[in-house]
Chain A
Amino acid sequence: MEAEVSRRLAEAALAAAQADGAEVRLLDEAGQRLVVTAAAGDAPHPAVSLALEESPLAREALAGGGPVIGADVDLTAAPRPGSSLLCLPLQHEGRSLGLLCLHAHLPRRFDTTDGARLTPLAALGAAAVAVTQALAEEKNLEASRAQFVRVATHELRSPVAVAQSLVRGVLKGYAGPLTEKQQEVFSRISHRLDFLESLVNDLLDLAAGKAPELGEPVAPVSVTASLRRVVVLWQPHAEEKGLTLTLRVPRDPLLVHATEEGLDRVFVNLVSNAVKYTTTGGTVTVTAERAGGQVEVVVSDTGIGIPTEALPHLFEEFYRAPNAKALGEVGTGLGLAIVRDLVQRYGGRIGVQSVVGAGTTFTVTFPVAGEGSG
C-alpha cells in the first residue's frame, strides 16, 4: 500500500511539474537512510538506498522543511552538468517521512515558484504515506496479537486440562478408594479447575474476538435458526431447574450480517444467564421479530434481577453483580463482555432493563441483512 501511494505521488508530481523524472524516497525505520519507494519518468537516482549523510541536499530539505533546488548536481551533490533538481520534504504533523524529488535534463529548469506550486501536493502525499504507515503498523500489531492468542491457547489450557484429567481420575476412585473427606476436597478442587477452564476459554474468546482476522467472514445468517439451536440446547437445563423456557419466532429466518458461531455465542450467553439466574417455577422467554430495518431479539426472565447500581458495569470484563456472585453459580464475568463485543462487530446494539426480584430483559437489535447499505 505504501508503494502504491508513493507511485501515485511520483506520477502526480511528474505531471504537475512537467519534469523528466520524479521519485519518492522514504526514510527507513532508523531515520538514517532514504529508500526509493516509487519512481516515474526517467528519474536519474544515484542509488535506491541512500544514507542521509551522503546527501547534503536531502538533509537541507528535511531540516528546512521547504523545497530545495539543486543545479548541475544530483542528490548526493555529485556533479551532473546541465541538469536540475527539486526536492520537497514529505512532512506530516511535524514528522519527516522522506522526500519527493524531481529531475530535469535542462539547466535551471526549477525555481521557487515550482517549489511553492508543488508544496500542497507534497503535503497531501505525506499525509497519505503517514496514514498507510499507521495502518501497516496496526496490522502488524493485530497479527502479533493473534499469534499470542494462539500460543496462549495451548499454554494456558494444557496445564488446566492435565490437572482436571488427573483430578477426575482420582474422584472416580482410580487412584484407590477415597475417604468422604478426601472426596469432598477433590470435588472442591475439581470445581475450581472447571472454573479456571471456563475463565481461560472466555478470555481467549474475548482476545480472539478482538483480533478480527481470527474470525470467519461475516455473511447473512439466520437469527431464527440460531435461537432454535440455543433454546433446544438449554431446554434440558431449564426443565431440570423447573423453569419454563419458551421461544417465539416468526417463520422468517430473520437474516443478519454475522457468523453462525458468533450469533450462537451471543444467544447462548444470554439464554444461559437467564436460566442460571432464575429460580424454580420461573419463566424465560425468548422472542425475535422484525421491526423496520432491524431484527429485535428479546430474552426476558423472571429471575433475581440486576441492581440499578450494577447496570452500568454489566458489560465490563470480569464484572459480576453482587447478587449474582452471592447465588454461588459459576461465572467468569466475561460472558456479557463477549456478547457486547460480538453484537457491536455485527453492527448491532444491546440494552438491558431489570428490576431486582422481578426479572431482567435483554434486547439485542441487528440491522436486517440485504437492506440499506448492506
Chain B
Amino acid sequence: MPKILVIEDDPDMVAAVRMPLEAHGYEVVAAASGAEGLKKVKEIHPDLIILDVMMETTTAGFQVSLQLRSPDPASEYAPYRHIPILMLTAIHSTTSLRFGPDEAYLPVDDFVDKPIDPEVLVEKVRRMIGQ
C-alpha cells in the first residue's frame, strides 16, 4: 500500500485530504508542522509528500521543500530527494500571484489548489506515484 505523508497544520484539511486517499487504498500519515514533517520523512520514507505552504510561518512549506530537495550531496535528506512533492496552495487564481511548478524557484512537482477537489487530488497522486 503506497504511503503518503501529509504535512499540514490544519487537522480539518488533513481530514479532507485523508478521506478520498484512504478510500482509494492509500496509507495516510499526517504531520502538523514542517519540523515534524521532516522527521517523519526519515521515519516512514513515504512514496509521496503532500505539503501545505502556510504553516507555523507563511513560508514553512517552501522551507521544507527546499531542505528535502537540497542539491548538497552531504544533505541528511539526500536519500529522500526523489520523493515526489505535491504542494497545497491557497492562491486565489484571479490575483496576480499565479504560480506554477517552477524548478528554479520552488522544487515541488505539482500543485493542488484549495479548496480541494477530491477527484483532482486522487488523479494527481495516482499519476505522481506512477500507478
Contact = CB atoms under 8 A, between A and B. Distances in A.
A59 interface: no
A162 interface: yes
A166 B15 contact: yes
A81 B120 CA distance: 86
Given A174-B118, A197-B115, A162 B92 contact: no
A119 interface: no
Contacts of A160: 115
B12 to A, nearest CB: 5
Interface stretch (B16-24, B26-34, B65-73, B75-83): B16-24
A-side interface mostly: helix
Contact of B10 (A153, A158, A175, A205): A158
Contacts of B96: 216, 261
Given A158-B10, A158-B90, A172-B118, A165 B16 contact: yes
A67 B119 CA distance: 79
B114 A158 contact: yes
Contacts, number: 69
A161 B19 contact: no
A168 B54 CA distance: 22
Interface in A90-129: none
Interface string A316-334: 0000000000000000000
A201 B94 contact: yes
Size bin of chain B's contact surface:
20 to 34
Interface in A237-280: 261, 265
A287 B83 CA distance: 51
Contacts of B19: 166, 169-170, 174-175
Interface in A124-181: 153-154, 157-158, 160-166, 168-170, 172, 174-175
Interface in A188-223: 193, 197, 201, 204-205, 208, 216
Nearest to B113: A161
Given A165-B16, A169-B20, A174-B23, A205 B94 contact: yes
B13 to A, nearest CB: 5
Given A168-B115, A168-B116, A161 B94 contact: no
Kindly name the residue among B16, B20, B95 whose own CB sees the greatest number of chain A CB atoms within 10 A: B16
Contact of B92 (A157, A165, A174): A157
Nearest to B14: A162
Nearest to A193: B115
Contacts of A157: 90, 92, 114
Contact of B114 (A165, A205, A216): A165
B20 A172 contact: yes
A213 to B, nearest CB: 13
B56 interface: no
A208 to B, nearest CB: 7
Nearest to B98: A261
Contact of A162 (B12, B54, B94, B95): B12
A161 B114 contact: yes
Contact of A265 (B12, B94, B117, B118): B94
A197 B94 CA distance: 13
Nearest to B114: A161
Contact of A168 (B12, B13, B95, B118): B118
Contacts of B90: 154, 157-158, 161
B17 to A, nearest CB: 8
B20 A162 contact: no
A261 B129 CA distance: 36
A197 B73 CA distance: 44
Contacts of A162: 10, 12-13, 16, 114-115
Nearest to B97: A153
Contacts of B23: 174
Given A157-B90, A168-B115, A174-B20, A208 B95 contact: yes
20 contacts: A157-B90, A158-B10, A158-B114, A161-B13, A161-B114, A161-B115, A162-B12, A162-B16, A164-B115, A165-B114, A166-B15, A168-B115, A168-B116, A168-B117, A168-B118, A169-B16, A174-B23, A205-B94, A205-B95, A216-B96
Interface of B: 10, 12-13, 15-17, 19-20, 23, 54, 58, 90, 92, 94-96, 114-119
Interface of A: 153-154, 157-158, 160-166, 168-170, 172, 174-175, 193, 197, 201, 204-205, 208, 216, 261, 265
Given A161-B114, A165-B115, A166-B16, 10 more contacts: A153-B92, A154-B58, A161-B13, A161-B115, A163-B115, A165-B114, A169-B20, A172-B119, A174-B20, A208-B95
